[in-house]
Structure 1
Amino acid sequence: MITIRNARRDEAQLLADIGFRAWEKAMIPVGETKAMVENARAAFRNFTSSGWLTISVIELNGQPAGWAAREELDEDITDFWIDPEFQGMGLGTALLEELEKEILRQGFDKASLQTHARNEEAVHFFEKRGYSVHWLTIAYNPKLDRDVQSVGLSKQLAAPVVPGYGQEF
């Protein structure tokens, strides 16, 4: 059974471990160094400890299998991690659909996110679910302490409201 719920403070380390494992798998093709690995591990610990209120957890049969965050509780999905052991089981799709519903409920008409440009698996995952790449950039990532090539993706969730004739603005 799949369950999606809010994170709890007492599971910050468990969520950090899940995020780190998923990040590590995604970054293997990029050839990350040991220093980056330690920076990433620390960044996951720090974020899940301080940002747990913005995290949604997906469980399979009561076991946390992944999580996503919206740090500003807006349309931006800032983290999206499925433990490699649970990838390919539909959990990512279920979690993404739930995030999109929440974004719509909060009055936003699109969802957006960014990922490492060479994370082809993630880019393909989001494109398959209706997201389009809108930009490519190289910017300093303080979590990793280096420049990173990123792509921005977004998906229109609802038709934008366009005032019609005779409507007040």
Structure 2
Amino acid sequence: MTIADHIVVGEVGFAAWQSSDAFKDVELSADVLERTRRAYEIFAGETKGDVWIAELDGKVVGWCARDGAPNYISDLWILPDHQGRGIGNALVLDAIARIKAEGHRTATIHTHGRNAGAIRLYQRCGFVIVWRGTEYSKSMGIDLEKVHLQQSLT
């Protein structure tokens, strides 16, 4: 992945985040929005994990990452105008295959508790909700309703 890809990854991630159901009808302050935008901007360049991108006609339209635990899918972001086309599904299934190939017994993923579209996608990919509650987001600097999902790979 090139430095130019790092920039695009940040732009795609932030655009997808802004379009999600998670913060519909929620007023976020300018400083929260800026912290979040900045977190996406620097993610690809600073992560110690794997990041892979989905391209369509030479354009980055989505990306997935494993940052943190080796069986944890930390990120999945698809450009809003490319959602619903199977790109997210393909990236999640690829991530699961990578995790399974490394010998892990489970795959995990977390999302915002109000991100209904993401929860449906993950459940269609075989994940089940194992926890629902509130967690502090370091990147946003606020508490968020979160859902943890898990899939057995055995």
Q: If the length of structure 2 is used for normalisation, what is the TM-score?
A: 0.91
> Which of 56, 60, 64 is matched with 1:60 structurally?
56
Alpha-carbon distance, 1:35 to partner = 2.4
Cα distance in 2 for partners of 1:39, 1:148 equals 15
* Alpha-carbon separation, structure 1, partners of 2:67 and 2:61: 20
Instruction: Give the Å deviation of 1:72.
Output: 3.3
**Which structure has the larger Rg?**
1
Instruction: Pick from 81, 103, 113 the counterpart of residue 107 of structure 1.
Output: 103
Match of 2:14 in 1: 20
Between 30-39 and 103-112, report the one with greater CA deviation. 30-39
- The answer to whether residue 146 in structure 2 is matched with residue 137 in structure 1 is no
Q: Pick from 142, 148, 169: which aligns with 2:144?
A: 148
What percentage of residue pairs aligned between the two structures are identical?
28
In the TM superposition, 1:28-39 aligns within 5 A as 28-29=23-24, 31-33=26-28, 34-39=30-35
Q: Which runs of 5+ in 2 are unaligned?
A: none
Contact 1:69 1:78 in 2 (8 A): yes
Deviations, residues 122-165 of structure 1 (Å, cap 9, x unaligned): 111111221100001212111000111111001112x2xxxxxx
Give the partner amino acid of 1:66: G
Contact 1:78 1:114 in 2 (8 A): yes
- 1:100–1:111 CA contact under 8 A, matched in 2: yes
SS in 1 for 2:24: helix
State the distance in 2 between where 1:30 and 1:119 align: 13
Range 17-26 or range 28-37, more displaced: 28-37
Structural RMSD (CA): 1.6
State the alpha-carbon separation in 1 of the partners of residues 2 and 47 from structure 2. 10
Deviation readout 1:89-148 (Å, 9 max, x if unpaired): 111111111111111111112210101101111111111221100001212111000111
Give, in angstroms, the shift of residue 29 of structure 1.
Answer: 1.5
CA contact (8 A) 1:8 1:53 kept: no
Q: Do the aligned partners of 1:8 and 1:52 also contact (CA within 8 Å) in 2?
A: no
Shift of 1:23: 0.3
Distance 1:137 1:43 in 2: 23
Matching residue's letter, 1:40: T
